[in-house]
Structure 1
Amino acid sequence: MGGLSVLGRAIKAMPNENYIYLGDSLNQPYTNLPRDELVEICIQNCEFLYEKGVKAIVVACNTATMVAIDDLQKCFNIPILGMWPAIKTATETCGSGQIIIMATETTLASKCVKELLEAYGKDKEIYKLACPKVITLVENGITRGKEIEYLLRDYFKKYDMEKPTTIVLGCTHFGYLGSFLMDIFGQGIQIIDGAVDVVKRLYCVLQEHDILCRTKRDSLCYEIYNSMGAKKAEISKKMLLQFLGS
């Protein structure tokens, strides 16, 4: 369900494209899976999309990217893009404030995040924050309300949120929570969402391969699938429309 926030941003940026989305709620949470099993699941999911004739694939999950992106790019002869926490952007814009990276435990422990922190975060006050229970709520369509607010306040209680703060949304499930986090902790916090960067990269890749759709559509064109079936796909459509309306 988290990838819907990436799809929503892509639709807003490139409304003329035809999108096919596959949500894999059946195998969530990815962070609990052994590496080989997750790689195989990601390959199967990409095969589903590839067989439908897509021209590019965005792996709209930070955890799947950390574990499987190299294997996926070797398996398919179309552009495959992944997600990384926007740590570089955060360090360039945070000033002297603290940076809190919200992500899964797998992402936070990854070699990629370690290298990004070594390259850009040496002189910064940076904290890693895994929020597994929040991911579970978002996966079930809960993106606002007292239940998720209580959880977020509990996760963030160890930080001084009165300080200038940048929050990196390092999991696509958190892409729904940017404005809600600002409602909770104040409009002064800065939210950095890696989905913004991946959509920009997707646009550039489509341009470079001369496969960007330039024909204007009268209406949006997208198909939504979910590994748990039609009912979950319908919930996904509602969440997408909610995101597009925000």
Structure 2
Amino acid sequence: MNNLLIGVFDSGVGGLSILKELQNRLSDESFLFFADQKNVPYGGKSKEELVTLTSKIMEFLTARKIKMVVIACNTATCYALEELRNNFPLPIVGVVPAIKPAVEQTKVGKIALISTPATAQSQYVTDLINKYANNVEVLRIGCAGLEDVVETGKLHGPKTSELLNKYVAPLKKEGIDQLVLGCTHYPFLKEEIVSILGPTVTLVDSGRAVANRVEHLLDENNLRNTSGKQTNRFFTNKDADDFSRVASELLGYKVEAQYASV
């Protein structure tokens, strides 16, 4: 069982930011990444839709005898994590918006969260704020369309600039010093975001915390890969060639994805 793959999934290519952290931390492990690009974006979907979609993905992954799953999507974590854990008997790690570390790091008592509209409006995020940010003001900005530009791989295009100017630029006047990247697509836009907000605002994402948690669970359950063999597999339920092109650009190495009807 130790030599089985770790499953990672997202609505699209955003979860590759989490995969990148996992590969950096756990270089001996093998991964299977699934992109639900047929149904991207997740940000406008209901809880029922998200539970249905993610359950189908879990069935696809577990049929391939994986040892653990990482939900590399904040929206799916917010709305489907509990149901998936109840229905699938293997370790499942979600991606939680990094509100707690941002609150711990703020010097001015004011932070912001950018995410999909669904994540921004979720009870999950409200509970995180109530639990960790009692004395800190948290601005929530739902960024409709921003994950879509990452899907195309056009990180520096005019549409990207237009959306960042709409959602991120106004934060310059708010006096925040921490910006939580509450969507796994957004770390690929760090360069653009920093160019808008400047060096006084720290960008906080969840990648490192997720890698820490996965490493802990592997050790706790004695699931480390000791075979010396490592492989990565990529699947999408849309255009495999298009996904391969964008994923190769984002990860910095050649990706050859397969189509899967999920």
* Same-fold call, TM cutoff 0.5: yes
Corresponding residue number in structure 2 for 1:16: 28
1:226 aligned onto 2:236: yes
1:240: Cα distance to partner? Answer: 4.0
Matches within 5 A, 1:45-56: 45-56=57-68
Pair 243,175 (structure 1): closer, same or farther in 2 beyond 3 Å: farther
- 1:66 maps to a residue whose letter is C
Q: CA deviation at 1:149?
A: 2.5
* TM-superposition CA deviations, 1:171-216 (whole Å, max 9, x none): 1111212233113321232011012211110110111010022455
Provide the rounded CA distance (Å) in 2 between the counterparts of 1:176 and 1:161: 24
Following superposition, the deviation at residue 73 of structure 1 comes to 0.8
Question: SS where residue 43 of structure 2 aligns?
Answer: helix
Distance change (3 Å), C-alpha of 1:243 and 1:74 = farther
How far the C-alpha of 1:164 sits from its partner, in A, is: 4.9
Establish whether residue 81 from structure 1 lines up as the match of residue 93 from structure 2: yes
Q: Give distance in 2, aligned partners of 1:161 and 1:13.
A: 37
The yes-or-no answer on 1:134 pairing with 2:146 is yes
TM-score, normalised with respect to structure 1: 0.90
Name 2:177's counterpart in structure 1: 165
Q: Which residue of 2 aligns with 1:28?
A: 40
Contact persistence 1:94–1:165 (CA under 8 A): yes
**What's the secondary structure of 2:238's corresponding residue?**
coil
Structure 1 range deviating more: 58-67 or 136-145: 136-145
5+ residue gaps, structure 1, are none
Q: Deviations over 1:93-124 (max 9, x none)?
A: 01115311011121112122111111222221
Q: Which residue identity lines up with residue 213 of structure 1 in the other structure? A: N
Using structure 2 for the length normalisation, give the TM-score. Answer: 0.85
Distance 1:153 1:80 in 2: 36
When residues 70 and 225 of structure 1 are mapped into structure 2, their CA distance, relative to the original with a 3 A threshold, is same
User: For 1:201-212, what aligned pairs fall within 5 Å after superposition?
Assistant: 201-212=213-224
Deviation at 1:49, TM superposition (A): 1.1
Q: In structure 1, which of residues 195, 201, 209 is the aligned counterpart of residue 207 of structure 2?
A: 195
**For residues 30 and 162 of structure 1, what CA distance do their matches in structure 2 show?**
28
CA RMSD of aligned residues (A): 2.0
Q: How does 1:78-157 map to 2 (within 5 A)?
A: 78-157=90-169
Letter in 1 for 2:247: K
Identify which of structures 1 and 2 has the higher relative contact order when contacts are C-alpha pairs closer than 8 Å and 6+ apart: 1
**Quick one: which amino acid aligns to residue 154 of structure 1?**
K
Q: Distance in 1 between matches of 2:70 and 2:246?
A: 17
After superposing the two structures, state which structure 1 stretch, 102-111 or 157-166, moved more. Answer: 157-166
Report the counterpart of residue 73 of structure 2 in structure 1. 61
Whole-Å Cα distance in 2 between the matches of residues 169 and 243 of structure 1? 24
Q: Percent identity?
A: 29
Q: Secondary structure at the match of 1:15?
A: coil
Query: Is the CA contact 1:224–1:237 (under 8 Å) kept in the aligned structure 2?
Result: no
Query: Is contact 2:188-2:250 (8 Å) kept?
Result: no
Q: 2:108·2:177 contact (CA, 8 Å) conserved in 1?
A: no
CA separation of 1:178/1:157 partners in 2, compared to 1, >3 Å: closer, same or farther? closer
SS at match of 2:31: strand
2:63 is aligned with what amino acid? E
In structure 1, the residue matched to 2:259 is none
For 2:124 and 2:174, how far apart are their aligned partners in 1? Answer: 30
CA distance in 1, matches of 2:57, 2:21: 21
Partner of 1:182: 194
